[in-house]
Amino acid sequence: MPDSVTGPPVLAEIRAALTPDQVLVDPVSTGPLSHDHAEWAPVGAPLAVVRARSTADVQAVVAACHRHGVPVVARGAGTGLSGGANAVDGGIVLSLAAMDAVLEINPLERLAVVQPGVVNDHLRAAVAPQGLWYPPDPASSPWSTIGGNVATNAGGLCCVKYGVTRDYVLALEVVTGTGEVVRLGRRTAKGVAGYDLAGLLVGSEGTLGIVTEVTLRLRPLPPPAITVAGYFSSVVDAGSAVRAVAAAGLTPAALELVDRHCLEAVDAWKQMGLSVEADAVLLARVDEPGAVGEQIADRVVACFTESGATWADRSTDEQEAEALFEARRLAYPALERLGPVLTEDVCVPKEHVPAMLARIEKVAERHDVRIANIAHAGDGNLHPLIITPPGDDAARERAQAAFEEILDAALELGGTVTGEHGVGILKRGGLERELDPAVLAMHRAVKRALDPALILNPGKVVAALDVDPRTAPAHQG
């Protein structure tokens, strides 16, 4: 039959390997699954969205795409903020959301084996009855998947003390760009046999391989935490307090910044009764047990006070403390209700947090844009949120200029253009400014070695810089 009846050959192969309900071609169905939450990141029109249910499904799809030179973009829950899961014209979007099984929980070895579609919070709930805990906790943890967390090396509120996703990935099952299934890493506590290819795949945003199984390190559940809150008359004063906490040698389990814009947006949305009289709030959690934890909490209060807090204390109302942390998690969706939000994700050394916050304020003034601030302040990971009125093209242009200027400011202060959201589409120019040409060449060499046909999430991360139009494969379908 002609293509007009059967569709492109790659679709015929995929349909032959999977069941009909797994292959979506109707634009009404494929549209919502063709992009993540990145504002203004370009989105292509995919040939189809394929809903994988197993590693064999993923292998069949990638192998077919490799044979026909068709791009394939993996996606999880679509909570990303950099365009990393956005569709490519004429490509296949491969959804891993249905691969959502917790395959093993091993209390002796303190590890879990999961499929990529497992939601972050669901994993935490699954291991908690065993007295275990999975620390990485991005603000999207109620919705984001482990596969997506691995793709961007996600961090979260606890990462200041407990580290990011890469610190917990022991092993991966991966489908390569040629359709081969390989296992990387190990289950043992230690191991240095060969290069750390599992670590290389973490944070690669689906450009080097598609993760189909993850073995994760777990920790014992921590004791109940003490919450410390501090109110500040400016975000710069709050940044000074962050620096003071670090200078005192303290490492809270969380140290988060939320400004007035965020709190007001959350309160207007959820009516949580947040009556905070401050332009910025710092929230710390201390989870050392007993008297040691109380002493550390008191020292954090002292750092806040000495840095200009208008009020600081250990919380005596756990419900109020939880409401403030919940407001931190809800800040992004609350601000989205006000208009398009362009989300930043820069990270700077802790000593430069005050200076970076001051620069963000100046950028907002210079470009006449509204910027709200939330931050994993304890490790210097700042999330300025640039809010624009709906349909205002001039404001959009100013917001995009502010976005790029914030990237440059972070680099000038010895920081990076992305701490945890990934490069995707939005940060490609920033990545090129951050990395030396020789380092970019190393990235290109790794990409070509692991994805020789350049079909895995093309146009994302460094892949956008390494495609020579004279040698790149044609998208034949």
What is the C-alpha separation between 311 and 238, in angstroms, rounded?
A: 12
Instruction: Tell me the three state secondary structure of residue 132.
Output: strand
Identify the segments of the chain with pLDDT beneath 70: 1-7, 275, 463-477
Which tokens go with 305? 């006070």
CA–CA separation, 209 and 28 (whole Å):
28
Name residue 412's amino acid.
E
Tell me the C-alpha to C-alpha distance, in Å, between residue 112 and each of 35, 133, 173, 386.
Answer: 29, 10, 14, 38
Order of strands across the sheet that contains 48-51 = 23-24, 48-51, 92-95, 72-75
Residues in the chain: 477
- Looking at residue 474, its pLDDT comes to 43
- Edge-first strand listing for the sheet containing 181-185: 102-106, 111-114, 210-217, 169-175, 181-185
Is residue 382 helix, strand or coil?
strand
Query: Residues 69, 476: contact at Cβ < 8 Å?
Result: yes
Q: Is 221 buried (19+), middle (13-18) or exposed (0-12) by CB count in 10 A? A: middle
Cα 325 from Cα 329, distance rounded (Å): 7
Kindly tell me the burial class for residue 130, based on how many C-beta atoms sit within 10 Å of its own C-beta (0-12, 13-18, 19 or more): middle
The domains located in the chain, with CATH, are 102-220 (3.30.465.10), 226-428 (3.40.462.10)
Which runs of consecutive H residues, i.e. helices, occur in 206-352?
A: 235-247, 260-270, 290-306, 318-336
Residue 135: what residue type?
P
Per the structure block, which two tokens stand in for 205? 């945003």
Q: 260-270 vs 318-336: helix axis angle to the nearest 10?
A: 90
Mean per-residue pLDDT of the chain: 93
Alpha-carbon 242 to chain mean position: 22
The residue among 36, 31, 30, 33 whose CA lies nearest residue 426 is 36
What are the helix (H) ranges across 271-422?
290-306, 318-336, 353-367, 393-412
User: Over the range 452-470, which residues count as b (16 or more CB within 10 Å of their CB) and which as e?
Assistant: ebbbbbbbbbbbbbbbeee
Distance from C-alpha of 459 to C-alpha of 425, rounded to nearest angstrom:
7
pLDDT at 258: 94
DSSP 92-116: EEEE-TT---EEEEETTTTEEEE-T
Specify the pLDDT at position 329.
86
Residues 116, 151: Cα–Cα separation, whole Å: 10
Per-residue pLDDT of 208-243, as tens digits, reads 999 999 999 999 999 999 999 999 999 999 999 999
pLDDT at 6: 53
The whole-angstrom distance between residue 422's C-alpha and the CA centroid of its chain comes to 6
Task: Measure the N-to-C terminal CA separation of the chain; round to a whole number of Å.
Answer: 16
CA distance 74 to 85: 7
The whole-number pLDDT of residue 432 equals 94
pTM of the model: 0.93
H-helix or E-strand spanning residue 64? helix 55-68
**Residue 307 to residue 310: CA distance in whole angstroms:** 9
Chain-centre distance for alpha carbon 449: 25
